[in-house]
Amino acid sequence: MEKHSSPMPEPKDQSSNSWLTALSVYAHRRVVTMVFLGFSAGLPFLLVFSTLSAWLSEAGVERSAIGFFSWVGITFSIKVLWAPVVDNLALPGLTRHLGARRSWMLLAQVGLFVGLLGMAATDPAESLWTMAAWAVWVAFCSATQDICIDAYRIESAEDDLQAAMAASYIFGYRFALLIAGAGALFIADSADWESAYNVMALAMLVGLCTTLLIKEPSHGSQTRWGALEQSLLENLSGLPQGSAANKLQRALIMVYAPFHAFFAEYGRHALVLLVFIGMFRISDITMGVMANPFYLELGFSKSEIAGVAKAFGFGMTILGSAIGGVLVIKMGIMRPLLLTAVLVVLTNLLFALMAQKGPDLTWLAWVISADNLAGGMSNVVFIAFLSSLVNRHYTATQYALFSSLMTLPGKFFGGFSGVLVDAVGYSWFFVYAAATGLPAVFLVLFLIKHRIATQKVV
C-alpha cells in the first residue's frame, strides 16, 4: 500500500515564525494562481442557479418548472461517479501536450464556454427543454472542472500550503459569484439576458488562459497500474490477457482502487472520518437555507440585507479565509479545525438572539460579520484537512468523494428547515441548527484524542 508522497510536516517552532512571515504565503506564485482558478470554478455556479432562475421568472416560466431546474445542482453532488475517469483516462493529443490535470481542465472550460454561449442563444420562453439541456451541460462541465482544479490544487503544492491555496481559491470563487450574480443581473437590466450570458462566457477565458499558462503538477501517471491494482487483480479470477473481459476487469479495478486505498489506509477509522466529513457542514448549511427568509420576516428591507451582506458578508468571508490559512501555517490543522467547529455553533446561536431583538441593523451587521468570518475560517481549514487525507495517487477521486459527502447531509437536513421553522419558530430553529454542529465538535476531539489521521495534520 503506497502512502502519501508528501505527508504534512509537524509545525515548525512557532516562536520563530512571525505572523508577517505566515501572511507572506499569499504572495506565493501557486497560491496566487488559485485566485484565477477559483474565479473560473465559481463563475458557472450561479449561472445555472439563482441567476438562471431570475431569467426564467422574467421569461414567464412557471414557478414549478423553475423549481425543477434546481435539480441541476445534483450534478455537483454526484461528481464522484466520473472522477475516476478524470483520474485515469488520458485525452488523446491533449494529455501528451498539457498533462493529465490541465488537459481535463481545458476540456471542461471549453465545454463551459460553449455551454454558456448556448444558453445565451436560447429563449427559455420558447425552448425551455433546450435551456434545460444546456444548463445540465454547463453543470456537468463545471463539476468536472471542480474535480480537476481540486486535484491540481492538492498536487501542485505541499500540504503546508494547502490552507493558503484554499483561501485564495475561495477569494476567486466568491468574486466570481459577485460577477455571475449582481454583475449578470446588472448587464441583463441594462441590455438583455443574451448579452449577460455572452459576457459570462467571455469571462470564462480567465480560467482557460490560466490553464494554458500554468505548469502541470508533479504526480504519478494518470493511467497508472501500480502495486495496489496488481494485487487486486491477482486476487480475482484470471482472464485471458487483452480480452474484452480482462480490459473491463482492469477498468473496474482502477475505479475501485481509490476507495480501497482509503479504507486500507485508515482501517476501522475510515468510517469515522467519513461521518465527520458529512457532519462538519450540517450546521451552517441547515441555517443558511432559512437565512434570507428570516431577515425579511424579521422586518429588514431587501436593500438593507443586500447592503450589509455585501459590505460585511463578502469582506468577512475573505478575511476569515485569510485568517484560516495563517492559523494552519502557525498551528497545524487540528486545533484550528476544533476552533472553527465551535465558532460555527456559537454564531448560529447569535441568530437565535437576533430573533428576539427584532430588526436591529447594528445586530444584523454584527451577526452577518461573525457568521461569515467563522464560515470563511472553517471552509479553509476544512478544505486543508480534506486535502491532507487524500492519497496523491488517487487525488481526483478521493477528494470528489469527500467534497460530495461534505454537502449531501446538510442539503438533506436543510430540506426540512422550513417545516421546523413553522413548528417551533426561528429562535428554536437556530438553536437546533447550532446543536447539529455539536457532533462535529465531539468528532474533532475524538480524532485528536485517538490520533486518527492527525499524525499528518496536527
Task: Give me the half-sphere count of Cα atoms (radius 13 Å) on the Cβ side of residue 139.
Answer: 21
pLDDT tens readout for residues 50-63: 889 889 988 988 87
Q: How many CB atoms lie within 10 A of CB 29?
A: 9
| Residue % of the chain over a pLDDT of 70 | 89
Does 343 share its domain with 448? yes
Shared domain for 98 and 187, answered yes or no, is yes
Q: Are 283 and 419 in a shared domain?
A: yes
3-state secondary structure of 126: coil
Least confident of 243-247, 255-259, 331-335: 243-247
Residue with the bigger pLDDT between 43 and 314: it is: 43
Q: Which band of pLDDT confidence, cut at 50, 70 and 90, is reported for residue 35?
A: very high
Highest mean pLDDT range out of 68-72, 197-201, 222-226, 291-295?
197-201
Domain span including residue 275: 248-458
Greater model confidence, 277 or 73: 277
| Within a domain: 345 | yes
Does residue 104 sit within a domain?
yes
Q: How far apart are CA 358 and CA 364, in angstroms?
A: 10
Handedness of CA 421, 376, 270, 452 (dihedral sign): negative
Q: In this predicted model, what pLDDT tens digit does every residue of 414-444 receive, in sequence order?
A: 777 778 888 888 899 899 999 999 999 999 9
What digits encode the pLDDT tens for the residues 113-141? Answer: 999 999 999 999 999 999 999 999 999 99
**Mean pLDDT for the stretch of residues 30-50:** 94
pLDDT of amino acid 171: 93
Question: How confident is residue 455, by pLDDT bands cut at 50, 70 and 90?
Answer: low
pLDDT of 11 reads: 45
C-alpha cell at 196: 449577460
Query: Is 278 found in the same domain as 329?
Result: yes
pLDDT at 2 over 50: no
SS percent in the chain: helix, strand, coil, step 5 = 80, 0, 20
Q: Is 13 inside any structural domain?
A: no
| CA distances to 125, 195, 197 from 192, in Å | 14, 5, 9
CA atoms within 13 A on the CB side of 292: 6
How confident is the model at residue 310, as a pLDDT? 67
Summarised one tens digit per residue, pLDDT across range 339-361 is 999 999 999 999 999 998 888 88
Average pLDDT over residues 100-109: 96
All three cell numbers of 189, joined, read 437590466
Residue among 143, 171, 41 nearest 83 (CA): 143
Same domain for 285 and 198: no
Domain end position, chosen among 216, 238, 271: 216
User: Structural domain tally of the chain?
Assistant: 2
* Lowest pLDDT segment from 1-10, 129-138, 233-242: 1-10
Element (H, E) at 267: none
The reported pLDDT for the residue numbered 216 is 92
Q: Are residues 286 and 207 in the same domain?
A: no
**Has residue 197 got a pLDDT over 50?**
yes
Residue 4 lies in a domain: no
Confidence of residue 209 (pLDDT cuts 50, 70, 90): very high
As a whole number, the mean pLDDT across the chain is: 86
Per-residue pLDDT at 405: 86
Q: Is residue 228 included in any domain, yes or no?
A: no
- Domain membership flag for residue 148: yes
Whole-angstrom distance, CA of residue 387 vs CA of residue 391: 9
Provide the CATH number for the domain around residue 305: 1.20.1250.20
Do 109 and 153 fall into the same domain? yes
Clarify whether residues 207 and 255 are in a common domain: no
